[in-house]
Structure 1
């Protein structure tokens, strides 16, 4: 589950609300062990996702670096190269 959480800091353009929400959802899924919560746990699950999203946004907004912003396309290509090396090409 959590291997899908991507680094969101120091990108140009910055991480979107959707990216932060997706990372928060993955984090709460990992902690709770629920991919989809039961009706009894649904409210607590969704509240946790919202709270983690707020905290993650605050964290990203307060971090500083002297490094140049990363390029999303370059990072995607690097990930593809790592996956091709690890799993072989699928094409």
Structure 2
């Protein structure tokens, strides 16, 4: 999976439409191989991003869990700790 696509389910506050759209854009970029499509492919690219965003919103609103919502700051700190362990202290946010 693309490292820029983050888990969006079960956070408090819930993922925003902008976060979902950004994840959809990253997904389409990854599978298409385009960072920015040509004019010829731009319409299909943008349509795919929007359709994936809509499906993702539907998915996230219909999923259910009994787990407590995750805290964004705690998850970010865990990610920093994993990165520090994996790459050393070179990576800082």
TM-score in terms of structure 1 length: 0.96
Secondary structure, aligned partner of 2:36 = coil
CA offsets 1:43-78 (integer angstroms, 9 cap, x no match): 100010000000000000000000000000000000
Query: Where does residue 77 of structure 1 map in the other structure?
Result: 77
Q: What is the correspondence of 1:1-91 to structure 2 with a 5 Å cutoff?
A: 2-90=2-90
RMSD (CA atoms): 1.2
- Return the offset for 1:3: 1.5
- Unaligned 5+ segments in structure 2 are none
TM-score in terms of structure 2 length: 0.94
Q: Which 4+ residue blocks in structure 1 deviate beyond 4 angstroms? A: none
Secondary structure, aligned partner of 2:22 = helix
- Return the offset for 1:13: 0.2
Q: Alignment length, in residue pairs?
A: 91
- Unaligned 5+ segments in structure 1 are none
